[in-house]
Every structure is written in C-alpha cells, then in structure tokens.
A and B are shown apart, each in its own frame.
Chain A
Amino acid sequence: MKRLLAFIRKEFLHIFRDPRTMIILFGMPVAQLLIFGFVISNEIRDAKIAILDKSNDQQSREIVHRLLSSGYFRVGAELETEASIEACFKANQANLVVVFEPDFGRKLERNHRASMQLIADASDPNMAEMLSNYVQGIVFEYVNDLNRTSESPTFIQASYRMLFNPALKGVYMFVPGTMALILMLISAMMTSITIAREKEMGTMEVLLVSPLNPFQILIGKLTPYFFLSLINASLILLMAYFVFGLPILGSSLLLVLVSMLFILMALSLGVLISTVAKNQEVAMFISMFALLLPTLLLSGFIFPIENMPKILQYLSIFMPPKYFIIILKNLMIKGIGMSYIWKEVVILGLFLLVFMLISIRKFKIRLE
C-alpha cells in the first residue's frame, strides 16, 4: 500500500510540474465550454419568437412578458391563426412559435392545469431544442412562483412540436458532447501518454523489475487521472449550470455515478492504447485517431447518427461516447431516471470490462 501511495504521489508531481499537462487538464474544458457557450448564447439573444395567444388573458400575457424581458427573445410576429405558423417560419420571421390554448388563464385558476404548445423550426435542431428549453425554463419559473402562493400545485403542460425535422433525432445540447469529448481525451489520452513516457525514458524497465506488480503500476497511473477527470466533469457541469443555465433535471447522484463509469472506461481504453504505443508520439497519434475524431464525428456529437450512411451508423455502435451522450441527455435535459438509461449504462459497463480485461492481459511484465 505504501508503494502504491508513493507511486500515486509521484504521478501527481508529474502532473503538477508540467505546465502543458495542467493546461490540457484544466484550460481545455473551460475554453471549449466557453467557446461553445459563447457561440450559442449569442444566437439566443437574437432569437425571434412568434406568439399565438388564443386566450389573451392576464396569465398568458404575463408569460409572454417574462419571455420577452428575459433578454433571449424578441417578437418576430403576432399570429392570429394556426394556419399562418408555417408561413411565418418560411418567411423566417420566427424560430419558435408559442401557442396558448383558449381559456389558458381560467383553466389555470380553476383546474390548476393548463397547456401550451411550443412549435420550433427544427431545421436547426440544436437551436430548436435550446429555445424550447429556455422557454420551458421560464414557464417553469412562472409555475414555481404561482405555487408559492397557492395551496394546490399548479401545472402547465408545455408540449413540443418540431416542424421540418419532427422527430428531432440526434439533437442534443453541446454540454453532453463536450463532456464526453473532454473526459475521453483527458482520461484516455493522458494515461496512454504518461505510460508511454515511462517506456521512453527507460524507467518502465526499472518499474517492471521492482516489486511493484503490474496491477499496482496501473492503479498508480490511473488514480490521479480518475480524480482529475472527476474534477473536470464537475467543472463542466457547474459551468453549464451556472454560466449557461442548463438544467440538471435528473438525479445528480446518478449523474456522478455514470460519469465515474465513463471515466473508468476511458482510463482503461488509455491503458489499452499504451500497451500498443512504444513512445509518446505514437500514443498521441493513436489517441487522436481512436478517440478525438470518432468522438467528434461518430458519436452524434456534431452529426446526427440517423443521418449518417449505414456503415457509419454501424460503426457508431462501437463508440462509447455515443452512449454516454445519450445518458447525459436523458439525465440532464429530459430528467428521466435509471429505468430509461440502464441499457446504455450496461453497454458502457461492458466496454469497461472488455477494455480492462484486454489491457490486463496485454500489459507486459517483460519488455516484448
């Protein structure tokens, strides 16, 4: 145990003494999130909405007022009939139409239930989902305010309709994708590089002939990166929550547990890469090709998987980040629990198991 602790301590020293590692570890997530976030929050400020208020009472006007004073939206058009919605989109007068049902306010007072509809132009799916989320957030706030003064709980049913890309498949927010990407890179790339560096410097030879067993060497290498990745994941989530106001609707505990699972999976993948790579350059190269590009291109982060050619769709089955992104989306944005994501969790667990087994088998106690 003392040996292991000495090893872990040494790894932390390596990390803290190398400015490049520190920048990659902590600069990259913040920078990436800010870049994505900046681009997106800029667009939100310009978003045009159209209002179709069939009720036109105090409550619906209050909600519209709140939407407009939030700073994210401005009114592109006032609509009279449902028929004019599509025309309004086509004329690019609005990205989102908010429809209140007739007698919205009265239903709310009497039944404590009312419904509204959000119709989005889903040809830009990211934008559509984002706008809907913002509106939803504002409505949610309004309901909260109502509930504070009334005894029986009020509920506003906000249903979505997406035009032009009705299923809204493969659409998700940037945060789950960024998180998957960063955790994958840091966990897998950094571990593979640090193991390869020992080989390059010749210290691995001495570690191998020392009483440390391969398992201890691996645990010693992985522990620091596990904690750093965890800090990173928290950093991303906190930034997403506080800076960009992204909701975390599901269980935070579950979110942390699933992130740990994904990090472990990525770490074992890093070990696997290092068993093949002889030096740092090769480790870097493999990581880039095996991790960065697939995570960006094949996990559904940027391109919806459903729109890909069949062969790439099959390939994406083998991309662990894909499952992590699905889990994150479900947990954070849809707010659903374990019962809906267990399949993806099991798949990630399987990946972890397979990578671990192969790496332990391939990690050599000798030099060839």
Chain B
Amino acid sequence: MTAISIQNLHKSFASNRAVNEVSLNINRGELFGLIGPDGAGKTSLMRLIASLLLPDSGSVHVFGFDTRRDYRSIRKQLGYMPGRFSLYPDLTVEENLHFWATVFGTTIDRHYHLIEQIYKPLEPFKKRKAGQLSGGMKQKLALSCALIHSPSLLLLDEPTTGVDAVSRMEFWDMLQGLKGKDMTLLVSTPYMDEADLCDRIALMQQGKILSAGNPHHLRTQFIGRLWEVKTPQIHPLKQRLNALFGCEVAHLFGQCLHWTCQADMSIDKVEQVLKQFHIPIDSLREIEPGIEDCFIQIARS
C-alpha cells in the first residue's frame, strides 16, 4: 500500500528549481532514503510532503490525502524532524519531550515503549538543558520528540549530517529498531554509504530524481564492469586512464582507483591497458559497484 504518492512535482524559489519534475511512490512500512548532496532539493521535497510548502505544479498525496486541501489530516499522522533538530535549547530534556507530547495531545507514558530504546541513554540527563547536550544526544532527543505521538509517517531531514561515523551508525540502528512498527520512515542524507541501510532509495541531484529503487536493484543497473586498482601512483594512473578514454572512467575511492570498463572487456585486455602506462600495480580485482559508484555514473551521464 502506498504511503506517499508524488506526481510530476515542481517547486521553484525565484529562479532556483528546487524540485524539478519529481514522481515517486513510497510504500507503507518502508524505510526510504532520499540521497543526494546539499542543494539537491531534499529539504524542499520533505517540506512539500509535510505540507509545509505548496507545489507549483503536480501533487503530493500522503495516505491518500492531498497536501494542498487535506493538510490537517496529514499533519495529524506526521512526525517531522527538520535538519536543525526541533529542540528548545533553554528547556531541559524532560521539558522538551513533555512539551511535544502535550502539543501532540498525548503523554510521555502512553507511547513510551516506542522511544524507550532511544530515550534510555538520556534518562540520567533529563534535567539538563537541551542546548548543553552533545550532538549525538541532541539527535536522540529530537528523534524521541518526533516519535512521541506514534506517527504513521516519520520524516527525518538529514538527521546524520555533521555527525561522526559512530553516532551515525547508532542512529541507523535506532531507525532499524523502528521498522516493523507500522511506521513509514523517510530519511534524507548526503552520505551515500547510508543507502544500503534503507529498503528503497532515491538518488537526487539538482532537484531531480536520478534513480529510485532498492539499493541492490540500483547496483545491478550499473553499466559496465567495475575494477578496483591499487597502486602507489594513484593520481598519475587516474589521469592516464581518463586521458586514454577521453572521459572520466576512473575515480578515486579511498586508497583505490575505481575504473569502469565496458562489459565486454576481458581481464586480459584490462591488464594490457594498465601495463602500457608502466605504472606499478599492487592489485587488480573486479568489484560490485557501490551506491556511490552508481551515483557518480548517473551524475556524469
């Protein structure tokens, strides 16, 4: 069943096309990732879904309700965590949670089971002001506040931006814990490596959706074969390869070079190409493309 249905959505601010012809379906109970760099239009799309912005054209339906007319019905079932964490820094942890619970017409106790795992580590600090919490703890509190009324749809706008790798992992663990509770989760992120933690994803850039589907499926759509090359002279090799093929076929990935070749190119041919540069090669192997490789390929084409 469809939770969010978006058709031909357009939204511009002055001359900037923030959301450009987006069509997307998000299913009920799904953990959906909206992945793209800053300025891709993720936040605008989130706000359009939350009925905080009106479409220029096209439509957004949430649980069958139109964001233009039935925004009240949508907002009743919505949990929303904007990029800047909706917390009052001068209120304590407990006061923040209590405030949002009351505003949404519920109590902390009624849905405590939903936030228990997330909120537990904060219990010892419940008398502390939210502004004095560390980044990771703020994130936990903001998520607790957004969850406290047991929404059917939870929108999380860049919850992991600027957060270190450990806190990011913990956050995704928390989201996985929320799955299977009849809650639809929509998360936006600039980190490509988080894609594999979602049921389905959409890659966004410059207001457009480049590709959407489950991460595994997206990877199978990668065109050509991907080779991982290790060499002490990684930069010269990259430049040589790109010069040879006349386009960007190779990109850096950690300490390796990822080189995309045509599917019919055999390993012998690959080795032959590398040999002609007289650059020492430590290792060479074919790898399965990651989401980042896919994004790069789509963005370049």
Question: Which residues of A come within 8 Å of B, CB atoms?
Answer: 2-3, 6-7, 10, 13-14, 17-18, 201-203, 205-212, 365-368
Contact of A17 among B87, B90, B99, B105 (CB under 8 A): B90
How many Å lie between the Cα of A360 and that of B204 in the bound state? Answer: 37
Cβ-defined contact, A10 with B87, below 8 A: no
Docked Cα-Cα span, A13 to B90, in Å, equals 8
CB-based contact B54/A203 at 8 Å: no
Extra A-B contacts (5), CB below 8 Å, given A10-B95, A206-B80: A7-B99, A14-B90, A202-B82, A203-B86, A205-B47
Chain A residues closer than 8 Å to B105, beta-carbon distance: 2-3, 211
Q: Which residues of B contact A211 (CB under 8 A)?
A: 75-76, 103-105
Residues 60-89 of B, flagged 1 when their CB comes within 8 A of A and 0 if not, give 000000000001000110101111111111
Report B-chain residues with C-beta under 8 Å of the C-beta of A368: 53-54
B83 near A367: Cβ-Cβ < 8 Å: no
Q: Which residues of B contact A10 (CB under 8 A)?
A: 88, 91, 95, 99
- CA gap between A210 and B90 in the complex, in Å: 21
How far apart are the CA atoms of A2 and B98 in the complex, in Å? Answer: 12
Q: Does B2 contact A (CB under 8 A)?
A: no
B102 within 8 A of A: yes
- Chain A residues closer than 8 Å to B103, beta-carbon distance: 3, 6-7, 207, 210-212
Q: Which residues of B contact A (CB under 8 A)?
A: 47, 50-54, 71, 75-76, 78, 80-91, 95, 98-100, 102-105, 146
Which among B52, B90, B146 is the interface contact of A366 at CB below 8 angstroms? B52
Whole-angstrom distance from the CB of B59 to the nearest CB of chain A? Answer: 15
Given known A211-B76, A211-B103, A211-B105, contact A366–B54 (CB-CB < 8 A): yes
State in angstroms the CA–CA spacing of A10 and B90 once bound together. Answer: 10
Q: For the complex, give the distance between the alpha carbons of A150 and B90 in Å.
A: 64
Cα separation A211 to B83 with both chains bound (whole Å): 21
Taking the nearest CB of chain A, how far is it from the CB of B107, in angstroms?
10
CB distance from B131 to the nearest CB of A (A): 10
Taking CB atoms, residues of chain A closer than 8 Å to B51 are: 209, 366
Q: How far is the CB of A190 from chain B (nearest CB, A)?
A: 15
Residues of B contacting A7 with CB < 8 Å? 99, 103
Looking at the assembled complex, report how far the CB atom of B16 sits from the nearest CB atom of chain A, in whole angstroms: 13
Q: Give bound CA distance, A208 to B75, whole Å.
A: 9
Task: Name the residue of chain B whose CB is nearest to the CB of A3.
Answer: B103
What chain B residues lie within 8 Å of A205 (beta carbons)? Answer: 47, 50, 52, 80, 82, 86
Contact indicator A14/B88 (Cβ below 8 Å): yes
- What's the Cα separation between A78 and B56 when bound, in Å? 84
- 24 pairs, A vs B, C-beta closer than 8 Å: A2-B105, A3-B103, A3-B105, A10-B91, A10-B99, A13-B90, A14-B88, A202-B84, A203-B87, A205-B47, A205-B50, A205-B80, A205-B82, A205-B86, A209-B50, A209-B51, A209-B75, A209-B78, A211-B76, A211-B104, A366-B51, A366-B53, A367-B53, A368-B53
- Shortest CB-to-CB span from A365 to chain B, Å, is 7
Q: Which of A3, A209, A366, A367 contacts B102 (CB 8 A)?
A: A3
